[in-house]
Amino acid sequence: MSAYDDLLAPLDLGHTTLRNRVVMGSMHTGLEDRARDVPALAAYFAERARGGVGLMITGGYAPTLRGTLYPGGSLLVSSRQAHRHRQVTAAVHAEGGQIALQILHAGRYAYHPFSVSASSLQSPITPFRPRALTSRGVERTIRAYVRCAELARSAGYDGIEVMGSEGYLLNQFLAERTNRRADEWGGSTRNRRRFPTEIVSRIRAAVGTDFIISYRISLLDLVDDGQTWDEIVELARAVEAAGATLLNTGIGWHEARVPTIITQVPRAAFVALTARLRPAVTIPVIASNRINTPAVGDQLIRDGVCDLVSMARPLLADPGFVAKAAADRADEINTCIACNQACLDHAFQRKHASCLVNPRAGRETTLVLRPVPPQRRRRVAVVGAGPAGLAAALSLAERGHDVELYEAADEIGGQFQLARRIPGKEEFAETLRYFRRRLETTGVKVNLATEATVEVLGSGEYDDVVATTGVTPRLPAIRGIDHPSVVGYTEVVTGAVRVGARVAVVGAGGIGVDVAHFLTHRPDLTIAEFEAHWGIGDPAEHAGGLVAPQPTPAQRQVHLVQRKTTPVGAGLGKTSGWAHRANLKKAGVELISGATYDHIGDSGLHLSFDDGRPDRVIDVDHIVVCAGQEPNRALADQLIAAGMTVHVVGGADVAAELDAERAIEQATRLAASL
């Protein structure tokens, strides 16, 4: 018996049984693209199979060269390529897991000039206009899907997934928005769904009955002229009749301007549609999007919302997710905080995907925390319990070193204690819960409210000191900076200072944007409030599911100021920055670029501009300083002078453009090397 019996129950698919209801959804890691990365990809999946996942789905492989996401993107078209995949499937099967290969044709989302689609209509997120497939081209593409599935079978995969959501080629055929054809592949609903159903039925005929075919169906397109709910239900039934084993669900096309997976999306925000679809078919249905704990997944299955739950990022964050849930150690799970920073943002920059809270993800063969033999065990003091200190202490302890952690505050967390208070970033509290619990279970001695000094550390007791003493907010040299209206972001976010109704924020980096959001938005929106804020409607009433947004009222009037002339927020993450910028706009935040801070006085913040704009005074109650950080190196320098072995990590090392991803990775790499 476990607390998550419904999630952990096996599922009989007829020809095979999945060991539980957890599906690792498809996530492109970048390791799919080159032959030399196959061993790393095999290790990545093997670690997750060892952790107990029921069924894993690979990143997408194109069935044709034109269908690749970008030049050199992953492709499965030859038996030579299929042969390489045997390393992956063998590694997964050796761990008792099952794995399906996703077939993804990018259609007009392809980032190259040879893209094809249902019609010749350019997408708003790619610079290339696709060519419309001819009828013969459609036929050839169907045959390519079948060939790709046969190759996957020959490579030892347990099945395939046909990617039919997120706005890729099959969606482009399904929706009137992108399908303007007048032949048998366009026009009526039946004609538009002919392409995906032909693909599924011909794959089934080719691969036989003992092979999983999952179809990823878009339940909510979130674009104008998307599919209606009736069309989606009819498609689901047609795909089932064509021979699909599973229906996986997807939400939102990539070009949609509604967030669907980032932290500010409430957990399990879209499952009501999955629950609505499930009774319309007899094959198992998979729920997805912002399901990141075993408790949520278990509840969904118990409530009959779905038969399985898909989690991609949560299994990057913790490959042992299922095993920990099964052992009633869910409080030790390293929870995905839905930041996208090291996974999807990397993928969009064509870097290998990893994970902010688990830098070993995708680096299983190169970033290894090997146990140390007793004779090599070191006594290590870690100073500072922010993200870098926590990661260093835990990774060192996991290897078997004897670790003592010092923190001047009376709680662990550092900058994460601020992040978790920003509306839409509440998941950071899970990371703190994870560290708190893992420090306990690994036996790290934690000294809170303890100032680490040369006297405390210099007793000869420690072989190494890891200094993660972090950063101090920068106080810019603006005349009048000591005015009583000026406050630091720490005081504002912790609630030590309650700011007035009119606020100027100095500095529009990551923290300035977060603070502007904090000052204007309420935390913990319900799913209904989130839907109204972004204009998410019912696809049964509005094709595509878009309605006029009704943003939550702004809590304050905020002006966000920077000296740079680039657009405010330009440096934010690719897959989340647009949503942060949209929120600022919804809240009426005034974005001011190219400003010079003249002075601060009783009348407010005085700005001048050297591009001809007139000087102005922003009349506000408070001015919040978010002007970056300076490294805190004093203790490290004293310890080095005292002859100790000191490793400086995180913001204390380089404050400029420090973020949690870099801090945690640097700390983990240090821990792996000691």
Binding site for ligand NAP (CB under 6 A): 341, 474, 476, 506-512, 514, 562-564, 572-573, 626-629, 657-659
Q: Indicate whether 342 belongs to the interface with ligand SF4 (CB under 6 A).
A: yes
Q: Which two tokens stand for residue 414?
A: 């550092």
Q: Which amino acid is at 167?
A: G
- Largest interatomic CA distance in the chain: 82
Residue 355 interacts with ligand SF4 (CB under 6 A)? yes
The residue (of 342 and 381) whose beta carbon lies closer to ligand SF4 is 342
Stretch that binds ligand SF4, among 44-52, 250-258, 338-346, 632-640 (CB under 6 A): 338-346
| Contacting ligand SF4 within 262-301 (CB under 6 A) | none
Is residue 263 within 8 A of residue 338, CB to CB? The reply is yes
User: CB of 564: closest distance to ligand NAP in angstroms?
Assistant: 3
Smallest distance, ligand NAP to C-beta of residue 337, A = 11
Candidate segments 73-81, 154-162, 330-338, 450-458, binder of ligand SF4 by CB under 6 A: 330-338
Secondary structure letter of residue 542 according to DSSP:
S
Name all contacts of 650-655 with Cβ < 8 Å and 24+ positions apart.
650/384, 650/386, 650/387, 650/388, 650/389, 650/468, 650/470, 651/386, 651/388, 651/468, 651/470, 651/471, 652/384, 652/388, 652/467, 652/468, 652/469, 652/470, 652/471, 655/471, 655/628, 655/629, 655/630, 655/631
The binder of 317, among ligand NAP, ligand SF4, none, by C-beta within 5 to 8 A per type, is ligand SF4
CB of 147 to ligand NAP, least distance (A): 42
Instruction: Give 248's DSSP letter.
Output: E
Q: Residue 512 binds what, of ligand NAP, ligand SF4, none (CB under 5 to 8 Å, by partner type)?
A: ligand NAP
Which span (41-49, 71-79, 187-195, 341-349) binds ligand SF4, by CB under 6 A? 341-349
Closest to ligand SF4 by CB, 273 or 338:
338
Q: Does 343 bind ligand SF4 (CB under 6 A)?
A: yes
**Structure tokens, 357:** 């809270």
CA dist list (Å): 223 to 154, 218, 267, 272, 579: 38, 12, 22, 19, 16
Q: Out of ligand SF4, ligand NAP, none, which partner does residue 343 contact, by CB within 5 to 8 A per kind?
A: ligand SF4
| Single residue of 264, 341, 552, 632 touching ligand SF4 by CB under 6 A | 341
For CA atoms 153, 158, 162, 167, give the dihedral sign: negative
Q: Of residues 168, 215, 406, 489, which has the active-site annotation?
A: 168
User: What is the Cα–Cα distance from 19 to 322, expressed in whole angstroms?
Assistant: 11
| Tokens 């789905």 found at | 57
Output DSSP code: residue 354.
-
Q: Which residues contact 592 (CB under 8 A, 6 or more apart)?
A: 559, 560, 561, 562, 568, 607
Instruction: Kindly provide the b/e burial profile for residues 217-250, where b requires at least 16 CB atoms within 10 angstroms of the residue's own CB.
Output: bbbbbbbeebbbbebbbbbbebbbebbbbbbbbb
Which partner in ligand SF4, ligand NAP, none is near 126 (CB below 5 to 8 A by kind)? none
From the list ligand SF4, ligand NAP, none, pick the one residue 357 interacts with, judged by a Cβ distance below 5 to 8 Å according to partner type: ligand SF4
Q: Which does 567 bind (CB under 5 to 8 A by kind): ligand NAP, ligand SF4, none?
A: none
CA of residue 301 relative to chain centroid, distance? 23
Residue 464 phi/psi, 5-degree rounding, is -140, 150
For residue 525, the partner it binds in ligand SF4, ligand NAP, none, with Cβ less than 5 to 8 A by kind, is: none
CB-wise, 280 or 654, nearer to ligand NAP? Answer: 654
Answer yes or no: 168 catalytic. Answer: yes
**Interface of this chain with ligand SF4, residues 298 to 327, rule: CB under 6 A:** 313, 316-317
Active site residues: 168
Applying CB under 6 A, which residues contact ligand SF4? 313, 316-317, 336-343, 355-357
